[in-house]
Amino acid sequence: MRDSFPVEQAVGIDYFVSDTDGVGGRIKQSSEDFRVREIERFDAEPLDADSGAYGHLVLRATLHEWDTNDFAKRLSEELGISRERVAWAGTKDKHAVTTQLFTLRKVDAEEMENVRIQDADIELVGRSGRALQFGDLAGNEFEIVVRDAERPENAEQIRSELQAFGGGKVGVPNVFGQQRFGSRRPVTHEVGLHVVRDQWEEAVRAYVGNPYDSEPERTQEARETVEDAFEDRDWSSALEATPGHLGFERAMLNELVENGGDSPEDFRAALETTPSNLQRLFVNAAQSYAFNKILSERLSRGLPFDEPVAGDVVCFSEQVGELTLPDVDRQQRVSEKRVQTVTRHCERGRAFVTAPLVGTETELAEGEPGEIEREVLDELGLAPEDFDLPGEFHSTGTRRAILVRSELEIEEGPLRFGFSLPKGSYATVVLREFLKTDPASE
């Protein structure tokens, strides 16, 4: 085990579990170097199925450098339909080649004949009686190329160390990656922590001010002006200094200009000018940060990730094709008497040790795992009842597997990795163990 980089520690990721020096190099030098294919649990009927009973056309699109939302909008424009009639299971990174299913409500196959979208290969799959939903996403298959690797020969030794950590398969702590918090400016968890602590002014300030060296100089200067405006309560000057491309920030500041910014309710109203999904993301990022800190503390104490100790809470698994998924709706607390029995379940892939994404209904572990969870939450000034929040900020919480495992293929010339992960787990979290490059330098 070795220490991580400062930018990783800032989001709760304190260690690498493998000791061998990384291969170095870079990913995503081009979109072709990062390929993702969704694994869905979604069945389609044949294309000639009755469109009355099966009112959704199912298609598979391979997208080259397309944001999923942007592609859905373009597809709806090409068909002359509402964007609300386009559905998918998971949102993908723009800087990649991604393959995923879409459903189109009340669209016939013939209407797709003249649809041509640049950098998108579209295949008609069939029909369905319902639209795709997020729950239909089971996982993702990845094929990732590392360019300019300095020590490609180290990949096999790192794989061996990760197999030892994972109990036979390549395993890594199932932490939330940098992109969860903002790759260039990791502040979403800072905003969320303030929200959960009922610090609405501090939450807004963390988002609209709070300059980062990784931002363009003009943006840093604007945020510094905003910081001064918070001291002077001069919201008009802050708004004037904030450039147009910072749309969410301007919306918050405009609300403060209008409501005066004199009370916690005024700052909460400013934060509520952001889209509902971003409001949820703030709190989710705070939960993710606490989760990462809990896993780092578990690592520092030398507790296992591939098997339980007394007091742990495990969840059982479900199988989707060759992918083994944690089912967090089926949980069990591990007593001293049942440690050996549950360990065998974990060894066979039938159960996973979990940690909390804390919320109002989250039950914490007991024993040493519970001690870790409570110490981290106390350190952050958080408790489950703190997540009883208004509107989109409210969260009941859940638990999440602490280990993600996969069969992993490695090829050289150039260095290439192939593996599959359950939804919600990050390919970059697996690759960071192999590359060991500073995210701040990317």
Instruction: Fill in the DSSP letter of residue 175.
Output: P
Pairing assessment for the beta strands 56-64 and 34-40 based on DSSP bridges: unpaired
| Rounded Cα gap, residues 438 and 81, in angstroms | 45
Q: Give the pair of three-digit tokens for residue 312.
A: 């742990």
Nearest Cα neighbor of 7 from 221, 187, 192 is 187
Query: In this structure, what are the phi and psi dihedrals at residue 315, rounded to the nearest 5 degrees?
Result: -120, 155
| CB contact at 8 A, 384 and 361 | yes
Question: To which H or E segment does residue 317 belong?
Answer: strand 313-320
Note if 213 is an active site residue. Answer: no
Residue 197 CB: number of other CB atoms within 10 A?
15
Rounded distance between C-alpha atoms, residue 297 and residue 175, angstroms: 12
Helix ranges (H only) for 101-246 are 155-166, 188-196, 200-208, 217-232, 235-241
Can you tell me the distance from the alpha carbon of 77 to that of 99, in angstroms, rounded to the nearest whole number?
Answer: 21
The type of residue at 237 is S
* Residue located via tokens 């363009």: 216
Q: How many residues does the chain have?
A: 442
**Burial state string for 17-26 with b = 16 or more CB within 10 A and e = fewer than 16:** bbebebbbbe
> Are the beta carbons of 419 and 409 closer than 8 angstroms?
yes
3-state secondary structure 346-378: HHCCCEEEEEEECCCCCCCCCHHHHHHHHHHHH
Angle at 230 between CA 225 and CA 234, to 5 degrees: 80
DSSP codes, 101-123: EEEEET--GGGGTT---TTEEEE
Residues with Cβ within 8 Å of residue 49, at least 6 apart in sequence: 126, 127
Catalytic one among 93, 136, 266, 312?
93
Just list the catalytic residues: 93
